[in-house]
A = this chain, B = another copy of it.
Amino acid sequence: MGEAGIAAVLDAISWNGDELVPAIAQQHDSGEVLMMAWMSRDAVAETLATGRVCYYSRSRGALWRKGETSGQVQALVELRLDCDGDTLLLAVDQTGVACHTGRRSCFFRALRDDRLATIAGVEIDPAELYGK
């Protein structure tokens, strides 16, 4: 994506008090919602420039290049913006798993029969993703 596109998106985003915006990652073909994380201006710009999704880690206070350690990268297919400009929807192509627990999606707990049930299994051992 070119500089004009990056500028258009950065201008259209309504940043929160911490100068961040929430971003929902959705697998572009299956429609599965994979995760939600936060992006800074630099994260949005890098994501659009490289085509590889980069978030902002609030706990580490630094850019978080998704998959840099684990190899489980997200290729950006399309960036979408909501009506208020305060949330992004990223259509992505997820390599392997999105969740640090080794599950495809971070949303693997569901309320069923008055209990939180685990509805998705571990596909890759986290020890494989992050070293032992």
Contact = CB atoms under 8 A, between A and B. Distances in A.
Given A5-B113, A35-B82, A81-B109, 20 more contacts: A2-B114, A4-B115, A5-B111, A5-B114, A8-B111, A8-B115, A9-B116, A12-B109, A22-B36, A31-B32, A33-B33, A36-B82, A78-B111, A78-B112, A81-B110, A81-B111, A81-B116, A82-B107, A83-B108, A84-B106
A129 interface: no
Nearest to A91: B110
Interface of A: 1-2, 4-5, 8-9, 12, 22, 24, 26, 30-33, 35-36, 48, 78-84, 87, 89, 99-101, 103, 106-116, 119
A114 B83 contact: no
Given A9-B111, A30-B31, A36-B24, A100 B83 contact: yes
Copies of this chain in its oligomeric complex: 2
A131 to B, nearest CB: 19
